[in-house]
Chain A
């Protein structure tokens, strides 16, 4: 089995994160060279300051398309540059860059490695309940065994991208990716990580959660 970590890229979508990007990239640089980090500015106003990037690659959407499309653009960029594996992480500093080696290490035996946060009681109970319902519903529909499907921190081998390629343009992309992995019977594993909680579901409402439950049923019939 070849080692995908040898040419791994990190894709970080950012939207109006301002100065948070710089410190995050400095942390990421301790694990992956910055020329293998793709920052996708998803139409931030003001735009991401290039001077904060310290050598990371910048791809910019002229308008905000949503996290899903930002991730997809970033992955296509990384793969075009010859990525052997791609790590996806949020741009708000919520995912600990120190976990990158563990995620990449897990790829030795699987196609995709999902991070699973230990949320405990750090999040509001409504969010926690929604997360549990979503996990249970997704696992039941797609014969998966995942504990934090909503967590966008994950790594996959480049060969897996064609079957993972998601169409959701918003936060549902994280879930669609897991669903597609399940449908294509990709080999997967979970890596338990600690959670840095700012607002683990920024921009996601209860209505979004309900819409996603319906969307999951539709994916069960169409994917």
Chain B
């Protein structure tokens, strides 16, 4: 087994463990746990058996499995970035509304 494969597998195992502890602490829901475990399992499978994704490599006219990984990785990063942005905006709006609502409910000193 290549050293890169070992490092990648350890990385995937670490991410699965982190996802699981996040679920145990109720930071993420069951659906999110399933999604991320599926992502890291797929990643591990492709690392262990690169030929299993060869069909996608051919279909998508990508030169190597590594290139496919890079492309999918970038796509995933952009999706997560966008989701983070949306969530941040939602949180910001909720915080603004809450602080303003509390301020208006206070005794104004008269």
Residues of chain A having any CB pair with chain B under 8 Å: 35, 38, 40, 50, 53, 55-63, 65, 69, 72-73, 76-77, 80, 169
Contacts and interface: CB of A to CB of B under 8 A. Distances in A.
B102, B103, B110 pick with most chain A CB within 10 angstroms: B103
B103 A60 contact: yes
A50, A53, A73, A169 pick with most chain B CB within 10 angstroms: A73
B92 to A, nearest CB: 9
A61 B100 contact: yes
Say whether chain B's binding surface is mostly helix, strand, loop, or mixed: helix
A59 B110 contact: no
A80 B101 CA distance: 13
Interface of B: 95-96, 99-100, 102-104, 106, 108-110
Given A57-B109, A60-B103, A73-B104, 12 more contacts: A35-B110, A40-B103, A50-B109, A55-B110, A57-B108, A57-B110, A59-B103, A62-B99, A65-B96, A65-B99, A77-B104, A169-B96
Contacts of A59: 103-104, 106, 108
Contacts of B110: 35, 55, 57
Say whether chain A's binding surface is mostly helix, strand, loop, or mixed: mixed
A58 B109 contact: yes
A35 B103 CA distance: 18
A49 to B, nearest CB: 11
